[in-house]
Amino acid sequence: MSTAFPPGFFARDDESADGRFYAAPRLVTHIDDDAIAAVGELYDELGVSGSADRPTRVLDLMSSWVSHLRTPPAELVVLGMNPAELDANAQATERVVQDLNRDPALPFPDASFDAALCCVSVDYLVRPVEVLAETARVLRPEGVLVLTFSNRLFPTKAVHGWLAADEDGRCAIAAEYVRQAGGFAEPEVSLRTPPGPGRGGRYRGDPLYAVVARRLV
Cα angle at 101 between 71 and 98, to 5 degrees?
50
Q: Please identify, using beta-carbon distances, which residue of 54 and 70 lies nearer to ligand SAM.
A: 70
Q: Does 208 bind ligand SAM (CB under 6 A)?
A: no
Provide the mask over 130-149, with x wherever binding to ligand SAM is found by CB under 6 A and - wherever it is not.
Answer: --------------------
Q: Which residues does residue 145 pair with via DSSP β-bridges, in sequence order?
A: 116, 213
Measured from the CB atom, the residue of 1 and 151 that comes closer to ligand SAM is 151
Closest approach, Cβ 52 to ligand SAM, in A, equals 27
75's enclosing H/E stretch is strand 75-80
Q: Is 213 exposed, middle or buried (0-12, 13-18, 19+ CB in 10 A)?
A: buried
What φ, ψ does residue 87 adopt, rounded to 5°? -60, -30
**By CB under 6 A, residue 62 contacts ligand SAM:** yes
Tell me which of 85, 114, 134, 176 binds ligand SAM, using CB under 6 A.
85
Measure the CA angle with vertex 30, ends 46 and 85; round to 5°. 90
What does the binding site for ligand SAM look like in residue numbers (CB under 6 A)? 18, 22, 30, 62-64, 66, 80-82, 85, 98-101, 119-121, 124
